[in-house]
Amino acid sequence: MRDHLLFVIAACAALSASAQQFPSHTPGIGPLTMTASAWPRSHGTHDGGVRGGAPYNDLCENAVIHPLEQGTPVTILGDNTGSTDTENFGNPVSWEAFSIGICATVTLDYCGTDPLFEFVYSILITGCPDFVASVQNNGTSFCDDGNTTIVYENLPPGIYYIPVLRMTGAVGPYTIHVSAGPCDGPPLNDVCANAQELSVVADCASGTVAGTNANTISDGSPWCADAGAQFQDVWYTFNSGTATEVLITIDPGTIGDIGVEVMSGCSGTSILCATGTTEYMVDVEPDMGYVVRVFSNNDLGLGGTFDICVSIPTGACDAGAPVTLEGDTSVVICVGEGPIVLADDPAGEGSVFVVTDSSGTIVLFADSSQVEVDGLSSGTYQVWSVAFAGELGGAVPGQPLSGLTTTGDCLDVSDASLEVVIEVCTAVHEQMGTPLVRMDNDHALIWQGTSQHIDLRLHDTRGALVFHQLLSAVQGQVLLNTSQIGLCPGIYAVCVGSGDTTTCCNRVFVH
């Protein structure tokens, strides 16, 4: 019997640090994920060349299909020396295959391959010679000898082809073991009557739900897909609340050929049916219940894991991070100064800017881009952008920023804030209007006041203290050489004081 060669690929959904992706040159196949062995091979590193010609299974049509039954492992011996890129994968490959008659979780390992294979493809392929889809794996690990083990969960009945990679570090004879175990039971939401409830959230970061349509049975063909195909699907339900539009987002794990159908009920009208993307915008009626079908066409890709989220489209409420007209993300001002003028208003039916103290407690609001802060005492504050629909609740000084609510269908608080540092700026033994410090040649900070004891502080644009020194200063003295303390270029606030309360701050630019 002639020897055979086998290889598999690790899941694109959760690549390890050693995994690499290579684009497929074959339409519809998707990324070809490669996983590395536990350690480099210690034997020869020749690339296999064309010595002796290509192996017989250089074409997928010539792959030996090994029937695989649960509880009866299959061992495959082979040699990939001389394989070529007949299928335009981008790397030379040869082919093996196995078939299963019932749903199975399949494990492939290269334990015993010597020299070990440093790299292997970690996907399976359905269809030959017309490749249909790639099947991603559910995890990889290592044999005791450093070779790779790969698991594919809940594979439906069918024939699966294994592309065997040939490259430096993965050439020569190999040993592959293939075994099958039982599938997980189908999820409860395999039928529409058991649809899993989803909440409509403002941000998918807080409302994503894990799901799978592996090992499921179709409830009929979606109207937007091929009626002659075999489908795997699961069901979800949500209430639109006050929304008139929602965004359904699918974050794929091992699922293939994603499709989504939205219906008014299990036997209701189809509102939307589409395939081939991960985001689906749906027009809805307020306070109405809907069901969502997530499906895979097995002719194009198999069911698998995914995350799903139903959210309010971000375009409806979008609170970008506030900045000043000059584009600054922080400012330093004196007590009584103001206002702070911001560049843009938040996008939404309603918008405000909220000012909080360092503990996140609300201190004031502004309903325009001009934020009056002249009544605030010295300290560090944050200005947040808030976009909302309906009526804003919780907008009360003394309440936490996290307590904001709305009667509408969206509420968005900016991810970042504008930091405002308010300093006490009173004279320090100097005639008014005369700067106490100046920069000389962009690096030396020169004292221009009279001889006296001073408290020198240097703050960055966030208000953080980066330098502090007590010293006796005389006019013309170099207080600080900024290049010697490693300051980054930018604007700084130089504050000098005499005692606890007499402080004056000037802005300087360090090149």
| Omega before 339 within 30 of 0, i.e. cis | yes
Amino acid at residue number 10: A
Q: How far apart are CA 178 and CA 127, in angstroms?
A: 19
User: Does 460 have pLDDT greater than 50?
Assistant: yes
6-15, 287-296, 353-362 — which is least confidently predicted? 6-15
Q: How far apart are CA 213 and CA 163, in angstroms?
A: 25
Sequence spans of domains, the chain: 12-181, 188-311, 330-423, 437-510
pLDDT at residue 208, as a whole number: 92
Query: Percent of the chain scored above 70 by pLDDT?
Result: 81
CATH top-level class of 437-510: mainly beta
- Output the CA–CA distances (angstroms, integers) from residue 274 to 261, 262, 280, 461, in the order listed: 7, 9, 8, 49
The pTM of this model reads: 0.52
> Could you count the other beta carbons within 10 Å of the beta carbon of residue 159?
16
Q: What letter does residue 322 receive in the DSSP assignment?
A: P
pLDDT at residue 33, as a whole number: 57
User: Does 8 have pLDDT greater than 70?
Assistant: no
Most confident of 188-202, 337-351, 394-408, 492-506: 188-202
Tens-place pLDDT, residues 222-275: 888 876 668 889 999 999 998 888 999 999 988 888 999 999 999 999 999 998
User: Does 387 have pLDDT greater than 90?
Assistant: no
Please, which pLDDT band fits residue 2 given cuts at 50, 70 and 90? very low
Tens-place pLDDT, residues 63-77: 999 999 999 999 999
Tens-place pLDDT, residues 96-141: 999 999 999 999 998 998 899 988 888 898 888 887 778 888 888 9
Beta bridge partners of 78: 174
Most confident of 23-37, 382-396, 436-450: 382-396
* Mean pLDDT value across residues 447-454: 82
CATH hierarchy code of domain 188-311 = 2.60.120.380
Give the three-class secondary structure for 204.
helix
CATH hierarchy code of domain 12-181 = 2.60.120.380
pLDDT at residue 346, as a whole number: 61
pLDDT at residue 42, as a whole number: 54
Query: Percent of the chain scored above 90 by pLDDT?
Result: 33
User: Does 426 have pLDDT greater than 50?
Assistant: no
Please list, in sequence order, all residues whose beta carbon lies within 8 angstroms of the beta carbon of residue 486, skipping any fewer than 6 positions away: none
Question: To the nearest whole number, what is the mean pLDDT of the chain?
Answer: 81
* Mean pLDDT value across residues 465-484: 81
pLDDT at residue 158, as a whole number: 92
Tens-place pLDDT, residues 136-153: 888 889 999 999 999 999
50-64, 241-255, 267-281, 418-432 — which is least confidently predicted? 418-432
Backbone angles phi, psi at 194, to 5 degrees: -105, 30
Q: Do domains 12-181 and 437-510 have the same CATH topology?
A: no
Q: How far apart are CA 47 and CA 13, in angstroms?
A: 29
Tens-place pLDDT, residues 18-36: 344 433 434 344 445 556 6
pLDDT at residue 424, as a whole number: 67
61-65, 355-359, 431-435 — which is least confidently predicted? 431-435
Higher pLDDT residue, 369 or 97?
97
